[in-house]
Amino acid sequence: MKRRLLLDAGNSSLKWAVLEDGRWCAQGRCDYADLSAVQAQLTPGMACFIASVASPAQERELAAWLDAAGMVPVWLEAEAAFADVSNGYLNSRQLGVDRWMGLIAARQRTREAVLVVSAGTAMTVDALSAGGAFLGGIIVAGAGLMRQALLQGTAGVAEIAGQSQIFPRCTADAVESGIVAALCGAIRWQHVRLAESAGTAPRCLLTGGDAGLLLPHVGLSAEGVPALVLEGIDCVARERMS
């Protein structure tokens, strides 16, 4: 199959992968200010598929860069359905395309009910039934936004890195512990709700830049899948290119 570039364009960084004949040849993560690692992977006639939740300015810069490289990308959107995954959002296109790609990838990994957690600038927690129906999900501020809110909204919190503790005894640890507790609490809350709906404990997949922060504390049999969105993009790319 034709060599292809997959781009997961987030709010703060760009995840990318290059695939050929079903093989993941290279992948990485970079800032929008330095796309040299991706540039080094480009070849003539390469296909490109993008799932973007980046800002309009970032998207314009990315589009201009791809145009200068002679590439015509396919900008993906959430749809009403893909294969046996159905989108239960009231307006299917309003669902973030990164969330949709994550759901598609989760369905490829399991036919069980599964909770798909993406811990990035914002954290999303999405429920997928054993039948492939996206039931809905929640969005909360991610760890970075929570820290920023506390720094800007309170006088007694300094910009000092803390560690998550059971009983924090300094302000920095108290802040970090509170952030982790809030995010893990949101995951556990949705896990209980999906278990009630499914009649069994669902799988739980974590992706995003802060997945590593949460995995040791979430208290579930959760699995970290760093490239989950890219896996979903690849599913769609293979269907479009077949």
- Tens digit of pLDDT for each residue in 42-83? 988 899 999 999 999 999 999 999 999 999 999 999 999 999
- For the chain, the distance separating the N- and C-terminal CA atoms, rounded to the nearest angstrom, is 8
How confident is the model at residue 175, as a pLDDT?
A: 93
- Percent of the chain's residues with pLDDT above 90: 87
- DSSP result, the chain: ---EEEEEE-SS-EEEEEEETTEEEEEEEE-TT--HHHHTT--TT-EEEEEE-S-HHHHHHHHHHHHHTT---EE----SEETTEEE-SSSGGGS-HHHHHHHHHHHHH-SS-EEEEEESSEEEEEEE-TTSEEEEEEEEE-HHHHHHHHHHH-SS--S------SS--SHHHHHHHHHHHHHHHHHHHHHHHHHHHHTSPPEEEEESTTHHHHTTTS-S-EEE-TTHHHHHHHHHHHHHH-
> Which is higher by pLDDT, 31 or 1?
31
pLDDT of 159 higher than 90: no
pLDDT (0 to 100) of residue 160: 75
84 counts as catalytic: no
Task: Give the model's confidence band at 1: pLDDT under 50 very low, under 70 low, under 90 confident, else very high.
Answer: low
Task: Assign 153 a pLDDT band (cuts: 50, 70, 90).
Answer: confident
Among 8, 21, 67, 98, the one annotated catalytic? 98
Q: What is the pTM of this model?
A: 0.95
Average pLDDT, stretch 136-160? 89
